Amino acid sequence: MPRLSILAAGAWLAGISIAQAQAQAPLCEVSGRAYFRVVVTAGGARFPIELYGARATVRPDSGPLTRVQVTGPLAFSAQAAELAYRPGARVVAAEGMVELGEMTTLSTSAARGDHVTVTADLGGGVRLLELTLQCSAITIEPPPAARRQEPSAIRCGDAYYQAGTRGRRLAFRAHPSGGRRVLVELPDDRDLWVCEVERRGAWVRVATIDTVHLDGRITGWLLRSDLRRLRGSVGFTGGRGFLRPPGPGRMGFHGSSLYYGPARLRVGALVHASPGGASWATVTDGTVDVVVLMRDNQDWVAVIEVPGLGPTDKAWISRAAVVRASPAARGGDHR
């Protein structure tokens, strides 16, 4: 075989190997109950949909507009801007230097395989930069409203310090000699207070002590020159809260020419942005009660409420796909 043909065949096989490796590489996907706004495209129109607990999967590495795949009870593709994540549970990262609580807000900057690089907002204006986490450690679900865990116990000495300078960045080290670094961005209007855990020459191992504003803890080594000794007592006021998402309402009435109330939809039916218009979603769960508005002698039914989604006037479905209405709320068969 001529040498040129051998080289071409080798390049072709190498291309196949690379493509196969890319296809087999794990993707960073985050799934859960979603509580944020997405934008849906149907035909040439774009419109917002609020998610209030719908099942969804996102890819943090998909650029400034994150791709969102909603999976139930309606399945559709959408995009979200400036999507925020949080730890699915308390996370220990960076060789134990960082503890993140469930109230921590995470924004992603890059994903590689099953890991993602995030900026972690601990609250109080304190942010951790370029922190690498496993994709399985983060979630799109909001934090529990009534649960706030304290960081793990750590033995502080009698010395307390202000670390770094307001508005600047500060690098915590895993070891005095080097190792992993955690880059912390300090707020312009608040000091970062730490306690001394141990000391080695010019290096001091410290831990953050504010559990009111910070949902998590940073522990690491700093140079003594980065610390300013505090005198007197230390206390904190204020803190972070969480707004519980609204719950769905329910009402119903029916008459000789109009039905407004609970119904169920046929699995596989298409949902359209207008009667007979472009479709944008597919029904995936036929056991869920939705709220519809139906008129006699009309082929299209308005879907007013869907569990997990906010109200919209962009959800229309064929009358033949309305399987049944709740018997308690209807006077006859409204198929």
3-class SS letters over the chain: CCHHHHHHHHHHHHHHHHHHHHHHCCCCCEEEEECCEEEEEECCEEEEEEECCEEEEECCCCCCEEEEEEEECEEEEEEEECCCEEECCCEEECCCCEEECCCCEEEEEEEECCEEEEEEEEECCEEEEEEEEEHHHEECCCCCCCCCCCCCCCCCCCCEEEECCCCCEEEEEEECCEEEEEEEECCCCCCEEEEEEEEECCEEEEEECCCCCCCEEEEEEEEHHHEEECCCCCCCCCCCCCCCCCCCCCCCEECCCEEEEEEEECCCCEEECCCCCCEEEEECCCCCCEEEEEECCCCEEEEEECCCECCCCCCEEEHHHEEECCHHHCCCCCC
More confident residue, 63 or 215: 215
* % of the chain with per-residue pLDDT over 90: 47
pLDDT reported for residue 108:
87
Backbone angles phi, psi at 29, to 5 degrees: -125, 140
* pLDDT higher than 80, residue 332: no
For 167-180, write each residue's pLDDT tens digit.
889 999 999 988 88
- The pLDDT value recorded for residue 99 is 92
pLDDT at res. 153: 66
The pLDDT > 70 percentage for the chain reads 76
CA-to-CA separations, 259 to 10, 32, 140, 180, 330, in angstroms, rounded: 68, 34, 36, 64, 8
* Res. 188: pLDDT tops 50: yes
User: Tell me, what's the pLDDT at 212?
Assistant: 66
* pLDDT band, residue 150 (cuts 50/70/90): low
**How high does pLDDT run on average in the chain?**
81
Rg, the chain, Cα only: 27
The mean pLDDT of 134-160, rounded to a whole number, is 75
Q: How far is CA 288 from CA 141, 285, 327, in A?
A: 21, 6, 14
Least confident residue range of 18-27, 31-40, 105-114, 272-281: 18-27
The reported pLDDT for the residue numbered 277 is: 96
Tokens 């307001």 locate to 166
Q: Return all residues near 127 (Cβ < 8 A) that are at least 6 apart.
A: 119, 120, 121, 184, 185
- Residue among 44, 104, 99, 81 at smallest CA distance from 242: 104
262 vs 157: CA distance, rounded Å: 62
Distances (CA, A) of 63 to 59, 80, 140, 141, 243: 9, 10, 16, 20, 28
Mention every residue, 6+ apart, whose C-beta is less than 8 A from residue 276: 300
pLDDT band at 245 (very low <50, low <70, confident <90, very high): very low
Residue where the block lists tokens 């609250």: 123
Lowest mean pLDDT among 97-106, 204-213, 286-295, 319-328: 319-328
**Average pLDDT for residues 233-250, to the nearest whole number?**
42
Is residue 54 pLDDT above 70, yes or no? yes
Across the range 234-253, mean pLDDT stands at 41
Model pTM score = 0.67
Whether residue 246 has pLDDT greater than 70 = no
Q: How far apart are CA 141 and CA 33, in angstroms?
A: 5
Give the pLDDT of residue 244. 33
Kindly report the CA angle at 85 between 80 and 87, in degrees rounded to 5? 160
